[in-house]
Amino acid sequence: MKLPLKYNVKSLFVRRGNTLMTVASIALVVLVFVGVLAMASGLSLSLRASGNPLNVIVLRDGARSETESAFDKERQRAVQALEGIATDVGGQPLASAELVTLQIFQRADGKESNVSLRGLGPAGTALRPQFRLTGGKMFEPGRGEVIVGERLAQRFPRLRLGERVEFGRLEFHVVGVFTTGGSFDSEVWGAMEDFGNAFRREDVSSVLLRAATPEGVEALVARVEGDQRLRLQAKPEIEYYADQTTATAGQFVALGSGLAVLMALGACFAAANTMYAHVAARAQEIGTLRALGFRRRGILGAFVLEAALLGLVAGVCGAVLALPLNGMSTGTTNFVTFSELSFTLRTSPAVLLQGVALAVVTAVLGGLPPAWAAARRPITALLRETG
């Protein structure tokens, strides 16, 4: 015969104050864990949203990011003349030669960060279908105009719509705000030639290509890397951003896991304490149950279940506490590109579930020794105990 679940639920209520304190301490552990994971998840979402499955990015051999990459326009033109690149309605190849530079700007909190300035070729926005303007108008090449990513505008007071900003040795006018839903939202976009003039740069950082067909992506990569004269490397754009995700979000995941293990260990002790108290208070009750014919195994199961319930309640409480973090916006530096990357925290279902799972595991681990102790004691000893 099994003990009904109701028995466990009710017994958690009997020692309400005690249960509540333990729930609160485990819930806080869940809150911290979910918070850090939400940062990692928001960060990787922002980077992953930047790649398009048909796009191929071309960089200088050996460079890990567009910031480090630079090559001359002769090689850039050779890349754009390669076979297998999709064309637009006018028959022009869908390729954008881009110049990415960094400039220091002050954040709203008074500290400084490197901001990515991206000079695009004419096809630059067509290659990024998620692109749309949310305010103002599109920049026109040759007129010293730029548009800024939505997130950047929030974090950098000098990079807002209507502001005049110096980039390099020229003054630019912020004429629009845009979003792509990805890491580009932390960049300033303008025409490649304009940024070239401002920074006296004759070269380009990268070329973004659109493959004509999904099967053509690999072929295009092979064509760039196979050309010994180019000394360039090509990567599917998705892969380029996935590598940055591992490098950047990995730090947060490691931090979150380290914190979780330590905090959960502390909470484990607390759960054990609570469950020991529950067991001690019910010695007579357990003895009676055993006398009535309930097995040791049943008693053990009942107390483990009770601990699991405690953890579940705590996990759900912690997850609910963490919900307001969703959508909170913050930023860090992507150390692969060495530039500002703003993102919003994402308490996705997967992240919340991980939090709840941590709480249940913590409580069950803490509850096992007391449950074991309860099941092992002889009936006579249990019945002899006073309240």
Would you say 116 or 125 has its CB closer to other proteins? 116
Instruction: Point out which span in 16-24, 75-83, 234-242, 344-352 binds other proteins (CB under 8 A).
Output: 16-24
What does the DSSP assignment read for 67-114? TT--B-HHHHHHHHT-TTB-B-TTS-B-EEEEEEEEEEEE-TTS-EEE
Give min distance, CB of 36 to other proteins, in A: 8
Q: According to CB under 8 A, which one of 114, 179, 233, 257 is a site residue for other proteins?
A: 114
Burial 238-255 (b: 16+ CB within 10 A, else e): bebbbebbebbbeebbee
What DSSP state is assigned to residue 295? Answer: -
Binding map of other proteins across residues 54-93, x = CB under 8 A, - = no contact: ------xxxxx--xx-x-----------------------
**Residue 328 touching other proteins (CB under 8 A):** no
18's enclosing H/E stretch is helix 16-48
Would you say 87 or 330 has its CB closer to other proteins? 330
**Residue 35 touching other proteins (CB under 8 A):** yes
Would you say 90 or 387 has its CB closer to other proteins? 387
**Residue 358 touching other proteins (CB under 8 A):** no
Q: Shortest CA distance to 207 belongs to which of 314, 78, 49?
A: 78
Question: Can you list the positions of beta strands (E) in the chain?
Answer: 55-60, 95-106, 112-120, 132-136, 145-149, 164-167, 170-179, 187-191, 206-210, 232-236, 329-334, 339-344
Place of tokens 């932390």: 186
Would you say 161 or 277 has its CB closer to other proteins? 277
Instruction: Point out which span in 100-108, 178-186, 207-215, 285-293 binds other proteins (CB under 8 A).
Output: 100-108
Q: Shortest CA distance to 95 belongs to which of 109, 81, 111?
A: 81
Q: According to CB under 8 A, which one of 7, 78, 199, 301 is a site residue for other proteins?
A: 199
Residue 111 CA to residue 90 CA, distance in Å, equals: 46
Q: Give contact residues for other proteins (rule: CB under 8 A).
A: 17-18, 21-22, 24-25, 28-29, 31-32, 35-36, 60-64, 67-68, 70, 101-104, 109, 111-114, 168-169, 199-200, 251, 254, 259, 262-263, 265-270, 272-274, 276-277, 330-333, 338, 340, 387
